[in-house]
Amino acid sequence: MEEVKVITPEELQKRVENGEELHLVDVREDEEVAEGMIPTAKHIRMNDIPANLDYFDKDKEYIFICRSGRRSENVCYYLQEQGYKVTNMAGGMLEWEGKTVNK
């Protein structure tokens, strides 16, 4: 199994603040997202990913986010096997120090 690409919360924060067009997907549960999420992230719960494959474009890269980086890593492995370009935010929202919005 091919390793999943990783980005640190600090690297991602810089890219967000620079206004880069990023495709962020938060895979946490509703109650976790209610505590705040990265402003430009789309919320698709981990268990809903297989039913939402039509949302993803194989020509774009997606950065996946969860609470600690574990669930998003699992999602990355799953989608990478389907041929998608994915990156996992290591450490998850526990290590995110950037801006958040409440959903």
- pLDDT 10s digit of each residue in the chain, 103 long? 789 999 999 999 999 999 999 999 999 999 999 999 999 999 999 999 999 999 999 999 999 999 999 999 999 999 999 999 999 999 999 999 999 998 7
Confidence at residue 76, expressed as pLDDT on a 0 to 100 scale: 98
Could you list the active site residues?
Answer: 66
d(CA 49, CA 27): 8
Q: Which two tokens stand for residue 100?
A: 């958040």
- Residues sharing a CB contact under 8 Å with residue 39, sequence separation 6 or more, in sequence order: 16, 99, 100, 101
